[in-house]
Structure 1
Amino acid sequence: MNHLSRRAFLQGSALAVSAGAVSRIAAASLPEAVTQTQAGTQPPLTPASGRPYQPVVTLNGWTLPWRMNKGVKEFHLVAEPVLREIAPGMKANLWGYNGQSPGPTIEVVEGDRVRIFVTNKLPEHTSVHWHGQRLPNGMDGVTGLTQPGIKPGKTFVYEFTARRAGTFMYHPHADEMVQMAMGMMGFWITHPKDPSFMRVDRDFVFLLNAYDIEPGAATPRVNEMTDFNLWTWNSRAFPGIDPLVVRQHDRVRIRIGNLTMTNHPIHLHGHEFVVTGTDGGWTPPAGRWPEVSADIAVGQMRAIEFDASEPGDWALHCHKSHHTMNAMGHEVPTMIGVDQSSELKKISQLIPDYMVMGDKGGSMGEMEMPLPDNTLPMMGGQGPYGSLEMGGMFSVVKVRAGLARNDYRDPGWYRAPAGSVAYEWQGAAAYLPSAGGSRPAAPAASPSSKETVVNVVKPAAHKH
C-alpha cells in the first residue's frame, strides 16, 4: 500500500480510524483525507471494522479507507487537481480525488449508514452525484437542483444508507463538460449483507474514460465531444494498464463502468462469460446467456463473470480498433501502395528524422520514430514474441495455476507448452516421416519481465 500519505496507514492494514466527535452541522473533526499517488494496482483492503465483505481490486487504483463514528462509516473525498501518469513516458494534468484520477473506490455493505465529507480544492464549484444509488433527494448531488454548488475551499457532507447491493459510480453534476473531461469520477461498491451471496474468488473494477490531449501537451481539451485521442481504463492507457492476475479455476468478476462519450464493446479472449450485474442490480440467473463481448453504453456499468479455466495470457480490450491506439491523428491520409521514395529524399534534406509511413500498411509497433515530449507512441509494449502493437483500452488477463489466493503479482509472460504455439510452415517435406522430418518446435518466448519496453526516440536538437 505504497505512497499513502497517512502515517503508516495505521500499521498497514487497518481501515478504521479511532472515532472522533464529528458534528453533522459543523463538521468540527473531519476524517483524515488519505491520498494516493502511485499509479499501480494496489492490493485489496480487507475490512478491519464493520460487517465483513470480500474486497474488490481496482485496476490501477485503490480503495478509500474510512473511520467508524458511532456506527456510521465516514469517508473524506478531496476534489483537487492531480498529476496522473497515463503510461510510462506521459503524464497528464487532470482533476480527480485524493491524489488520483479516477478517485478511490468506496466500498460499503448493504445497510451501512454512510457519511461522506467532500472538500473542494478546485478553482470552481463542484458537487458529487452518487450514480445509481437510492438515497434522499437532497443527497443526489445535482448542483442547482438538489443542492448549491460546493465552493472552492468549502466542505459539504453527504449522508445516507446504502440501501441495495450493487456497483455504482460517482462523479460531479457541476460543470460536467469540464470536470468529467478532466477526469473527475470514481467507483462505489455496495457489498451484499450475506458475504456468500454472488461470491467470487477475484473481483476487479475499473472505469472507462477518454481524453483529448494534443501531442506534446499535458492538459485535456475539455470541449472535445467526439474525436478523443487517448482511450483509457482508470486514466491509464496500454502499455500502462496492469494485467488482471487470476488463479486457474478461479471464479472471476470484472465490473466495468463507462463514463466516456461513446459505447465500448469489451471483448475477452479464451473464455466466455455472462453479464451478472448492471447499475440497476444483479441480473436474474434465468436471464443470463454466454458472451465473449459486452457492449457498455455511456453511463452504464456491466459486471461480467467467468471461470478462469484456460491457462495463458488472454487479451481483454475494447473491440473498436481505434480505441486500442494512443495519440491518434484523425486526418491522416491512406498511403497504402503509394511510392514516396522521391519525396522522402527531398524531405529528409530538411527534416533528418522524417520517416515514410503507411505505404505498406499501418503497423508501427516496431518503428522508432521521433515523438514530442510527454507523448505516447500509437502502439506500444513488448510481449514475449515482439511488439504487441496495441495501446489505449487493452490489458491481459493472466491465468496461472498454483497462485496463492490473494496473490495479484504479475507472474510474467505465459510459457506455452511445447507444440501449442502457431509456427511457420516450412513445406510438406519437412513433416514427412519418410524424409526424417518432424514438426518444428514452437518459437520460445522471450524471458519473462515485468518491465514494459516502449520504443520511443525523442527528436534530436537541431541547430537553426
Structure 2
Amino acid sequence: MVSRRDLFTGAAALIGAGVVSRVGAASLPEAVIMQSAATQVPPPPPNGRPYNPVVTLNGWSLPWRMNNGVKEFHLVAEPVVREFAPGMKANLWGYNGASPGPTIEVVEGDRVRIFVTNRLPEHTSIHWHGQPLPNGMDGVTGLTQKGIQPGKTMVYEFEAKRPGTFMYHPHADEMVQMAMGMMGFWVTHPKNPNFMKVDRDYVFLLGSYDIEPGSFVPKTSTMLDFNLFTFNSRVFPGIDTMVARQGERVRIRFGNLTMTNHPIHLHGHEFEVTGTDGGWTRP
C-alpha cells in the first residue's frame, strides 16, 4: 500500500529528475520536423528489436536514437499549419511540425526516453494514454507533474510493458490544447513480430473541428456542433488511400480523442475487433 504522502513524494522526485538543464539540452536527440501531409513510407527499424512498422495515414513515424540500450525520442509541442485538403489550411497546435504528431513505435519491453520541448505560448504536458507506467510519468499537470513551461524541455522515461495501440495527448489545459489538434498515436509492437501479424497495418486518429468559413483557427469552445470530421486532420478529397491486395489481412488502428463520437464504415468489407486501448481482445 502506497500512502498519499509517499505517492506525491515519489512524483516530486521524478519531476525534479525530469527537467532538462541547459547543459543537458545540448545533448538532446534531434527533433525531426515533418510538415508534409502526404503519407510517409515507414522505414524498417534501424536498431533494437525487430517489428513490422505501421503506416500512418497522411502522417509518419518518429525516428529515435539508441543511447545505452534506451530508445530516445524528441517531441516538440508547437503551433503548426496543417493542410486539411489541397487549398485548405488551418492554424493548429501539434508536434514536430504536424497535427496529429508523429506516430511513436516501440517494442514490448523497450526502455523509452521521450524529451518534450514546449514551443507553445502556454505550459503543456504529455499523458501517455492507456499505458502502465510510474505515476510521475503520467503527464497530468497539477497532480503528477508541474507543467512544462514555454521554452523548457522535460524528459519522460518508462518501460513499454504492454503491446497494443495507444495514444498521447496533453493533460494541461487539455480542453484547448486537444481541440487545437495536440494528439498522436503510439504503437507498442509485441516481442514476437509474428504475433497477430498482418500484411497491412494502418493507423489514424479521428478528429473533429469547428472552423468558420474564412477563418483558419478552430473554435476551442465547441462541444458538439463541428463542421469538419477528419482522419489525421485531413478531409476528403485530401485523405490518402489505404491500399491492399485481394486476400491480404489488413489491420486498421484508429483512436478518437475528440469531444464527440465519430462513426466510420468500411464499405463492402467484413472486419472484426481484435484489440482495444491497451491490448488484444483475443489470442
TM-score normalised to structure 2 length: 0.91
1:142-175: CA deviations, max 9, x gaps? 0010000000000000000000000000000000
CA distance in 2, matches of 1:122, 1:131: 21
Q: Once the 2 structures are TM-superposed, how far is the Cα of residue 282 of structure 1 from its aligned partner? A: 0.2
Shift of 1:139: 0.2
Q: Distance in 1 between matches of 2:278 and 2:55?
A: 21
- 1:244 and 2:242 equivalent? yes
1:213 is aligned to 2:218:
no
Aligned residue number for residue 251 of structure 2: 253
**Alpha-carbon distance between aligned partners in 2 of 1:219 and 1:156, rounded to the nearest angstrom:** 28
**Cα shift at 1:95:** 0.2
2:151 is matched with: 153
* CA distances 1:240-266 after superposition (whole Å, capped 9, x unpaired): 111101122111000010011112232
Distance in 1, Cα, partners of 2:61 & 2:36: 13
The one-letter amino acid paired with 2:218 is P
Matches within 5 A, 1:180-199: 180-199=178-197
User: What residue identity is the alignment partner of 1:34?
Assistant: V
The separation in 2 between residues aligned to 1:61 and 1:67, in whole angstroms, is 20
SS at 1:244's partner residue?
coil
Amino acid at match of 2:117: T
* Structural RMSD (CA): 1.2
Q: Does 1:33 align with 2:31?
A: yes
Which residue in 2 is equivalent to 1:231? Answer: 229
Residue 59 of structure 1 is matched in structure 2 by 57
Cα deviation digits, residues 186-205 of structure 1 (max 9, x gap): 00000000000000010000
**1:394 matched residue in structure 2:** none
CA deviations 1:284-321 (Å, max 9, x no partner) are 25xxxxxxxxxxxxxxxxxxxxxxxxxxxxxxxxxxxx
Match of 1:456 in 2: none
CA distance in 2 between partners of 1:145 and 1:272 (Å): 43
Amino acid at match of 1:126: T
Task: Indicate which of 68, 74, 82 corresponds to 1:70.
Answer: 68
Shift of 1:25: 5.7
Cα offset, 1:280, TM superposition: 3.2
Match of 1:127 in 2: 125
Aligned to 1:30, the other structure's residue is in SS state coil
Matched residue type, 2:180? M
Asked if the contact 2:19–2:154 (Cα under 8 Å) also holds between the matched residues in 1, the reply is: no
Q: Matched residues in 2 for 1:210 and 1:87: separation?
A: 15
Show the 5 A alignment for 1:45-444: 45-284=43-282
For 2:257 and 2:192, the matched residues in 1 are separated by: 30
Worse overlay, 160-169 or 221-230: 221-230
CA separation in 2, counterparts of 1:262 and 1:95?
19
What does residue 7 of structure 2 align with?
none
Aligned length: 263
Residues 85 and 238, structure 2, Cα contact 8 Å, conserved in 1: yes
Letter in 1 for 2:87: G
Could you tell me which amino acid in structure 2 is paired with residue 43 of structure 1?
V
Runs of 5+ unmatched residues, structure 2: 1-17
Q: Distance in 2 between matches of 1:82 and 1:59?
A: 18
- Alignment check: 8 A CA contact 2:223 2:260 kept: no
Q: Distance in 2 between matches of 1:130 and 1:120?
A: 17
| Cα distance in 2 for residues equivalent to 1:264 and 1:155 | 34
* Equivalent-residue separation in structure 1 for 2:222 and 2:210 (angstroms): 7
- Aligned residues: percent identity? 79
Q: Which amino acid aligns with 2:237?
A: P
Q: Is contact 2:38–2:58 with CA below 8 Å preserved after alignment?
A: yes
SS at match of 2:274: strand
Q: Give TM-score, length-normalised by structure 1.
A: 0.56
CA distance in 2, matches of 1:81, 1:280: 29
Q: Which moved more, 1:265-274 or 1:97-106?
A: 265-274
Say which one has the larger Rg. 1
In structure 2, how many angstroms separate the alpha carbons of the residues matched to 1:39 and 1:231?
Answer: 16
AA aligned to 1:41 is T
Structure with larger RCO (C-alpha < 8 A, sep 6+): 2
- Kindly provide the CA deviation profile for residues 381-427 of structure 1, in whole angstroms up to 9, marking residues without a partner as x: xxxxxxxxxxxxxxxxxxxxxxxxxxxxxxxxxxxxxxxxxxxxxxx
Query: Contact between 2:80 and 2:97, CA under 8 Å: does it hold in 1?
Result: yes
* Alpha-carbon distance in 2 for matches of 1:91, 1:24: 34
SS at match of 1:210: strand
